[in-house]
Amino acid sequence: MTPTPTPAGGATAPPAGRLHRLLPALGRAGVLAVRRLGLLVTLLAAAFAAVALLPGDAANATSERGETTTDTAARRAALGLDRPLAERFWDWMTGLPTGDLGTTAHGQPVTSVLAGPLPNTLLLGGLALAASLLGALALGGWAALRPGGRLDRTIAVLATAAFALPEFVLSIGLLLVFSLWTGWLPAVTLTGADGAPASWDMLALPALALALPQIGWNTRIARAALADQAALPHVRAAVLDGLPRYRILTHHMLPGALPAVAIATATSAGMLLGGAVVVETLFNYPGIGNVLAGAIADRDTPLVAGVVAATGAAISTLLLCADLIRERVLGERP
């Protein structure tokens, strides 16, 4: 995680003497931010529309057997579901800046439903993301040290295999091996009084299940980006100069490969949060994936939109950081 924000911070806080260069940079960052924001709003509109397209609505999805149609109609009105979709979307969007995410179909404020699970998912996702970034850089770099060697090929095969494995299969495998057979790690996460996992080792299996496929994917990206760098004249020159291989990797190849790795990592964040729905259910992790699955089943539009907004904002921030890194590294030579 740590390498990502540093160059971005550098881009926004250069020495005061170079104001004439700062303004365009800020402008570019602003444009990127607006673009990401626009994408997020589109995404939210799509979420609203998608829930509306599903059969049934929140009023009958949360009704009890035995409720009359008038009861259901009354709740439909109470939930505001009798109003046009565009109007509901607008109401919800205008509440957003004030931090009001609306009320769920079960009558709870969306913010309070998300208050517990969202930090848990960000923690799990953050751990998995850090693991996938570090794992990918280590493996990709290791493979790039001896291009075409046996190690390089082994890593390539393993990386592809890891990425091809569905989270579901991977999770069951990890669960069997590390919990049910050996008893090394807890099988599921139990929630403590503070809403967080009761002990830290409960994070290990779900984080691993999420990270492994992404390590596979990002390793391939990192390896390819490093290979591109290896072909550049300044790296060749460094090799001819007889610099240590490790130093060439960290000082000459890695900086140039960073934009590609950053983009891949940011993209991974999206994949991670998608995988979280499956992984959280299998490991009973008290995260947002469980909330989302239930919210869709209940046609609970405000809650679905709340989850999308929260995760979308997290992913958009990461993507923006990745954009800024690319801007910083490649910006001067378009």
Partner 1 sequence: MGVTRRQLLWAGAGIGAAGALAACSSGTGEPRNAAPTGAAGEQPRTGGTLKVGALGRASAITRDPHGTQANESDYLIISLLYDTLAIPGDKTNTAPRLAASWKPSDDLKTWRFTLADGAKFHDDTPVTADDVVWSLKRLRNTPAGKSRLPGIQPEGIKAEDAKTVVLVSDYPNAELPLLTRLTTFVLKKDTKDDAIAGAPGTGPFKLDWYRDGNARLVRNDDWYGGKPPLDAIEVRIFESPQAMANALLAGQIDLASNVGAVAARTAEARKDVQILRRPNDMAMPIVMRTADGPFADARVREALKLAVDRDAMVKQVLSGYGSVANDILGTGDPAFARDIPQRKRDLDKARQLLADAGFDTGKTYDLITTEDIAGLAESATLFATQAREAGVKINVVKQESKVFWDATWLKAPLYTSYWGTNDSVVFLSSKTMVSDSGMNETGWNEPAFDETYRKAMATSDTTERAKLLHQLQEIEYAKSGYLLWGMADGIDLAGSAVRGLPKLPGYGRVQLEKAWLAR
CB 330 within 8 A of CB 11: no
- Smaller CB separation from partner 1, 159 or 203: 203
- Smaller CB separation from partner 1, 160 or 281: 281
- Minimum distance from CB of 200 to partner 1 (Å)? 15
- Smaller CB separation from partner 1, 55 or 242: 55
220 by Cβ neighbours in 10 Å (0-12 / 13-18 / 19+) ranks as buried
Interface residues with partner 1 (CB under 8 A) are: 54-56, 60-68, 71-72, 74-75, 104, 106, 108, 113, 116-117, 175, 179-180, 183, 186-188, 190-195, 280-284, 286, 290-295, 297-300, 303
- Minimum distance from CB of 203 to partner 1 (Å)? 14
- Minimum distance from CB of 106 to partner 1 (Å)? 6
Residue 197 bridge partners (DSSP): 191
- Smaller CB separation from partner 1, 110 or 254: 110
Closest CA to 272 of 255, 257, 285: 285
In angstroms, rounded to a whole number, what is the distance separating the alpha carbons of residues 24 and 296?
43
- Smaller CB separation from partner 1, 266 or 304: 304
How many alpha carbons fall within 13 Å on the CB side of residue 148? 1
- Smaller CB separation from partner 1, 6 or 199: 199
- Minimum distance from CB of 187 to partner 1 (Å)? 4
- Minimum distance from CB of 32 to partner 1 (Å)? 34
- Minimum distance from CB of 129 to partner 1 (Å)? 23
- Smaller CB separation from partner 1, 127 or 296: 296
- Smaller CB separation from partner 1, 16 or 53: 53
- Minimum distance from CB of 82 to partner 1 (Å)? 16
- Minimum distance from CB of 220 to partner 1 (Å)? 31
- Minimum distance from CB of 277 to partner 1 (Å)? 10
- Smaller CB separation from partner 1, 215 or 282: 282
Which residue is listed with tokens 């740590």?
2
